[in-house]
Structure formats: C-alpha cells, structure tokens
Chains A and B, each alone.
Chain A
Amino acid sequence: MRRVRAARWHDAARGTAQRGSPHPGRPVIEILAVLGIPLAGGVLLAAIGHRREAPAVNVVASLATFLAAAALTARVIADGPMLVLGRAFFVDSFNVFLVALTAFVGFTTSLFSRPYMRIEQEHGRLSPARLRLYHAMYQLFNFTMLLALLTNNLGILWVALEAATLTTVLLVSLYRTPASLEAAWKYFILCGVGIAQALFGTILVFFAAEKLLGAGGGALLWTELNAVKTQLEPTVLSIAFVFLLVGYGTKVGLVPLHNWLPDAHAEGPTPVSAVLSGLLLNVALYAVVRCKVLVEGAVPTSFARSLMMGFGLLSVVVAAFLLSRQKDIKRLFAYSSIEHMGIVTFAFGMGGAVANFAGLLHMTVHSLTKSAIFFAVGHAAQKAGTQVIDDIRGLVTQSPMIGWGLALGTLAILGMPPFGVFASEFLILTTAMREQPWATPFLLAALGVAFAAVFSRVQPMVFGETTVKRLPHRPAMIPVFVHLLIVLMLGLWIPPALADWYREAARLIG
C-alpha cells in the first residue's frame, strides 16, 4: 500500500503526470473552506470584533479552519498531491502539512488569546476598537498565510506574503506605544524592502520560464516550473535565487536581515508573537524552499545549498550570542526563533532525505514549542506586569502551571530530550557530522552558548522567591500543555503516518 502511494507521490513530484489530467474527486470544498472561513471570519470580526462574544467567534472560526484543514489533509494523504480549481491551487504533502500545522497553531493561539486579551483589556492596554482590529487582523493574517501555502502561483505567493506583512504590521503596532510604533515601522520598511527583492526574483524566474512556457500565465505556476526546471536558464535562476533568498529570507529572519524580528516579537501582543514565531517564519521559509527546489533543478552547482547553509549557520551563531544580552523575555525567545530558523535553513541547505526530514520535523516542533512558550511567557508577563526578566521571579511558587509550562517549554526548545526538538537536532547534527563536518563546531558552540544564555535567564524566573501577583482571569494553560505533550510525543514516538508524510515531503524538497 505504502509502496503504491509512494510511487504516486513520486510522479506527482515530477508534476508532468497530472498536468490537466483530471484527478479523482478534487477537494475543492475543503480548499474553499480553508481559505474562505478565515476570510469571512475576518470580515465578520471587522464588524463585531469589539463585542464580548468576539473572542468566541474568533475561536470558532479558527476551529472551523482547523477542521477544514484536517479534512483537506486527510484527502491529500489519501490520494496524493493534486491541482485544484484549474491550476490555481496545488496541494502536496509539503504544503498540506504546513497548512495543517498553521491551522492548528492558529486555533490554539485563538484559545490562548481569549483570556489573554481580556486581561489586557482589564489592565487597560486596549480599547474595544483596537480589540476589533485585533480580531479582524488575526483572521486575515491566518487567511494570508494559508493562501501563501496553498497557491500554485509564485506571484500570488508573493502577494499573500506581502499581505501577511501588512496585517501583522497592524497587529504589532496594536498598543500604539512608542516602542510598538517603532517596531512596526521597522518591520514594515525592512520586510517591505526585502520582499520587494523577492518580487524581483519572481520576475526573473518568470522571465526565464516565459521562453519555455509562454507568457500565458503558466510561467509562474510552480507545478509547471517544476516540470521544466531542468531546462531553465541557470544564470538567470541563480541571480533570481539571490533576490528570492534575500527577500523571503528577510521574513524568515536570517542574519543579517533579521533586525526587525526581535522588535516585532517583543512589542506586539503575545498571541501575535506566538503566531509570528510559530507560523509566519515557517511560511516564509516554505517560500524559500519552494524556490530552492526550482533552482536546484536548474543550476548544476550546489550554490543554492551552500547559500542556505551559510545563512543558516550565520543565523545560528549570531543569534546564540545575541541571546546572552537580552533583558526582555519576549526578545529573548525572539532571538531563539532566529536561531532555530537558522538551524532549519541549514538543514534544508544540506538537503538529502534525512536532513530534509529533520528540517520539517524541526519546523513542526519549533512552532509548537515556541508558541507554547510564548503563551506561558505572556501570562507570566501579565502576572509580573512587565516583560523585564529581572522583575519576573519564582513563578512556580505562585502559579505552578505557568512556571512549569515555561520551564519545560524552555528545556524543550533548548533541545533537551525527550522532547521532539532534540529528535530533529539529533538528526541534523549527526547528518552535519557526516556531510559537513566543518560546520559542526560552530553549531555546537552556538548550541552551548544558547543553552547557557537562555536557561540562566529562565531558571530564576521559574524558581526562587516570588514577586508576581494574581490574575483577574484564569490563564489558558491547556494550549501550552497540549503543545508540549505533542512535542514530547514527537520526541519519543513519531506516528508512522506522520513519518511517511515527512518522508514524502522530504523527497519533494529533494
């Protein structure tokens, strides 16, 4: 059975097989649902987002999205990759897995944001109007990301990512404090400029493909490009890849293009930080990888790989050292996101079945763990009334759940077994050991420094005498522990279905 499916995946990956050929029962409804629900939810919440039932609506919409995504995933797992609605949308194991992840984290984050935002409101940091904006933008943000994942058109991919930037800019500046405005401004300008480069790269790809596929629109469709990628012009594609990498890499947060990331994470509301770290970075990386696949096909040399490895390694090292200067808890974990994105980029740069597998696994566990951490951090910051690390002390003594959530999440993100992050880091490190021995010392030094930096800051927050006070509402700790449990499970046992899924995705990435 698996053999067969694998075979089907394979020619699907070649993409030639089903151009135009009708696929049995395309999941049109699911796709429309996955994209439509958040869009409609956004519009609705733009109207009623300030009412007291708005959070519930938000949760329901996210849940519905998640269910639709699950259905879509089921369909794709059952009968392979497929083109939907003409050639507008393309789902294969790679993006459908990200779709599921995005929808899931979007859902749990909405669960978390419900009490969190209420507490923020009671602390007087938000007006109803802002709350409405928040809810609307939250849904629209989900929509843009799902669109970016599902579309088959590189141009639309770009449009969606730009739109994602726009929505999150509004979310980051939600508090209207000077700091948040500064953060939002930097975010907007840097990502705007960066993504403009990506557009130029896209144009170059189009330019190269046009000769083969004709100007008739097909030249931006990933499936088409993937089919002819070996004949694409190498020089053009390599230059295009530079623009694409710099462009989308800015959103991934690769050093030295990362400077917007810590500010945006630190100043926005915590649910936004969670989705930024947990989802947006993944989606941007997804875009990079899609382009890398094309370039890999076109360019005989391994320059795309070495570029990604270089960026990844640089990010890991620099982020590790910056970690040890942080005084703000959310900034701290923002830098840790940079570090982990660096690791994933490095893994995809190495390529090969194992490394790609590890990269995908790391994407998953990182977004789960990191969002869990941000949930815990958010409540911790609310309890202490500050984000300054030195003023948050002794969480376990006052509210064990938050304390243990933060402690375990931190240990997980630092690559402590038996959590899943270790599983992927194990695979990445050992593969690097075999294929890129030169890189391992840097990786290890960075991991060591990062461990010392992060843990020395989190430990006193969790343990010791307490300074924190009670919250007006019960914090939402279920999402934290659900995420951590999943991560724990992934560290000890990866369900065979999921494993096949990763394998097939890894094969697509090549």
Chain B
Amino acid sequence: MSALPLYAQLINLFAAILLLLAFAMLAQRRVLSLIDLFAAQGMALAASTAIVGWGTGQSHLYFSAALTLVLKVFLLPWILYRLIRRLDVRWDVEGLINIPTTMLIGIVVCVFSFNLAFPISQLAVTVTRSTLGIAIACVMLSFLMMITRRKAVPQVIGFLSMENGLFFAATSATYGMPMVVELGIALDVLVGMVILGVFFFQIREQFDSLDLKHLEKLREGE
C-alpha cells in the first residue's frame, strides 16, 4: 500500500467512508438523520472528486466536484428538509424489517460486488481502480435500501444515494465523464427531485400519508 501516492490513499479512505455511510443509511430509521447521512455522503463524494482532480490534474473534475457540492450537499438536502417540514413527517419512523438481516444481505452484496469489480479493476489504468468495487457496492446497497423502505421519502433518498454511488464510480474508476453528460445527469436529478417533491404533496392529499402501502392497488394476483 505504501506504493500508492498520498492522494490515492486519501481516495481509498473516502471510498471507505462512502461505503460506511451507505451501510449507515441502510440501517437508519429516522428520516432527518437519513437526510444528514445523505448530505455527508455528498460531501465525501465531492471531496474525493476534488482530490482525484488534484491528484491527476484533471481540471474539469473540480467543476464536477463543485457541482456535486452544490447539488448534493446543499440543494437537495435543503429541498428535502423543506419538504419534510411542509409535509411534517419529521418524526416519521420507518418500521424496518429487522436490521441484522438487512445488514447481512448488505455484506453479502458487498462481497459480491468486490468480486465482480476485481477483474475489471485489474485492467484499469487509473491509480484509483480499487475503488470501483466500492462504487458498485454503494449502488447495490442503496438499491437494497430502496427495497427495504416502506415510506416515500426514504425511498427517494435511497434513489439519490444510488446516484451518488454512480457518480463516485464515474469519477474514481474513470477520471470523470464528459462535462456535458455530467451536467445532463445533474439536471435530470434536480428536475426529478422537484417532480418528486410535487408528488409528495399529491400523494399526501390523496392518501394523507406518505406510506407506500397505499400504493398497492394496481395488481394482477389476488
């Protein structure tokens, strides 16, 4: 490991933090704390992006780091906070299926994604290749989180953190996608968030709750 330059070690550190945060979100019950965790994840992501940019001299990564910072650390959490307050579901607590099992599945998924990523990262030219596995793991974990959630807001947060994982993969495994694409992605995420915000209200006024169990009417089997 000592062979690695400092920035690479830093990136690995941040990668580990991201993974940790992903697990934390998987286990987290309370909506507000979820949002905080999400913001933290964004922070870590922005930091790692910036470091990659600094380490490899890819100047455009600074932009994307800034973008991430603005979007995922300030804008989205802010929107979420406001929504929570307006919908006052602040004290919404998720009745999770028991956490140990979820954790166990999560770990299995992690191992799987590391295995999956291993042959790929062998081919990578980038120094930060070993982080690809972590990126996949993050994606999978947030997927798992979305599955386990019964309420609308946490599910959306899971969706957004999945976006984080992807973004991390993009920056760490490859030194960032072309700017156009990143902008487009960012725009989509933002718009999507707004639309979801609108949705929350509509769902509220229809079912006066954000519990997804109201959204199970359309079905085939009975």
Residues facing A in B62-94 (CB within 8 A) are none
Chain B residues with CB below 8 A from A322, complex form: 220
Neighbour of B175 across the interface among A170, A186, A215, CB < 8 A: A215
Q: Is the CB of A220 within 8 A of B199?
A: no
- B198 to nearest A CB, angstroms? 9
Q: How far is the CA of A204 from the CA of B176 in the complex (A)?
A: 12
Write the A177-196 contact mask toward B (1 if CB under 8 angstroms, else 0).
01101111110110011001
Neighbour of A196 across the interface among B58, B124, B163, CB < 8 A: B163
Neighbour of B185 across the interface among A193, A199, A206, CB < 8 A: A199
Specify the chain B residue showing the minimal Cβ separation from A192: B159
Q: Name which of B4-12, B23-31, B40-48, B115-123 contacts chain A.
A: B115-123
Specify the chain A residue showing the minimal Cβ separation from B179: A217
Chain A residues with CB below 8 A from B166, complex form: 196, 199-200, 203
Specify the chain B residue showing the minimal Cβ separation from A161: B188
Indicate if B2 sits at the interface (CB-CB under 8 A): no
Residues facing A in B204-222 (CB within 8 A) are 206-207, 214-218, 220
Indicate if B203 sits at the interface (CB-CB under 8 A): yes
Chain A residues with CB below 8 A from B220, complex form: 322, 325
Q: Name which of B14-22, B102-110, B189-197 contacts chain A.
A: B189-197
- A181 to nearest B CB, angstroms? 6
Write the A137-157 contact mask toward B (1 if CB under 8 angstroms, else 0).
000000000000000010110
From known contacts A159-B184, A166-B191, A220-B177, infer whether A263 and B218 are also in contact, taking CB-CB under 8 Å: yes
Chain A residues with CB below 8 A from B134, complex form: none
Neighbour of B120 across the interface among A196, A199, A211, A239, CB < 8 A: A239
Name which of B188, B191, B196 has the most chain A CB atoms within 10 A of its CB.
B188
- B213 to nearest A CB, angstroms? 11
Q: How far is the CA of A170 from the CA of B207 in the complex (A)?
A: 19
Neighbour of A204 across the interface among B120, B155, B159, B218, CB < 8 A: B120
From known contacts A159-B185, A188-B196, infer whether A203 and B170 are also in contact, taking CB-CB under 8 Å: yes
* Interface residue tally on A, bucketed by range: 35 or more
Indicate if A233 sits at the interface (CB-CB under 8 A): yes
Chain B residues with CB below 8 A from A178, complex form: 206-207, 214, 217
Q: Is the CB of A166 within 8 A of B215?
A: no
Chain A residues with CB below 8 A from B192, complex form: 162, 166, 188, 192
Chain A residues with CB below 8 A from B191, complex form: 163, 166
Q: Is the CB of B217 within 8 A of A185?
A: no
Chain A residues with CB below 8 A from B184, complex form: 155-156, 158-159
Indicate if B125 sits at the interface (CB-CB under 8 A): yes
From known contacts A188-B199, A211-B125, infer whether A235 and B119 are also in contact, taking CB-CB under 8 Å: yes
Q: How far is the CA of A425 from the CA of B29 in the complex (A)?
A: 52
Indicate if B169 sits at the interface (CB-CB under 8 A): yes
Specify the chain A residue showing the minimal Cβ separation from B192: A166
Specify the chain B residue showing the minimal Cβ separation from A263: B218
Specify the chain A residue showing the minimal Cβ separation from B116: A239
Q: How far is the CA of A215 from the CA of B206 in the complex (A)?
A: 49
Q: Is the CB of B125 within 8 A of A200?
A: no
Q: How far is the CA of A187 from the CA of B162 in the complex (A)?
A: 17
Q: How far is the CA of A186 from the CA of B146 in the complex (A)?
A: 12
- B87 to nearest A CB, angstroms? 15
Chain A residues with CB below 8 A from B181, complex form: 153, 155-156, 158-159, 220
Chain A residues with CB below 8 A from B163, complex form: 196
Name which of A196, A197, A235 has the most chain B CB atoms within 10 A of its CB.
A196
- A323 to nearest B CB, angstroms? 11
Chain B residues with CB below 8 A from A373, complex form: none
- B205 to nearest A CB, angstroms? 9
Chain B residues with CB below 8 A from A179, complex form: 217-218
Indicate if B202 sits at the interface (CB-CB under 8 A): yes
Indicate if B139 sits at the interface (CB-CB under 8 A): yes
Q: Which residues of B are in contact with A by a Cβ distance under 8 Å?
A: 58, 116, 119-120, 123-125, 132, 136, 139, 143, 146, 152, 155, 159, 162-163, 166, 169-170, 173-178, 180-181, 184-185, 187-188, 191-192, 195-196, 199, 202-203, 206-207, 214-218, 220
Q: Which residues of A are in contact with B by a Cβ distance under 8 Å?
A: 153, 155-156, 158-159, 162-163, 166, 169-170, 173, 176, 178-179, 181-186, 188-189, 192-193, 196-197, 199-200, 203-204, 206-208, 210-211, 215, 217, 220, 233, 235-236, 239, 262-263, 266-267, 322, 325
* 3 interchain residue pairs of minimum CB distance: A155-B181, A159-B184, A182-B215
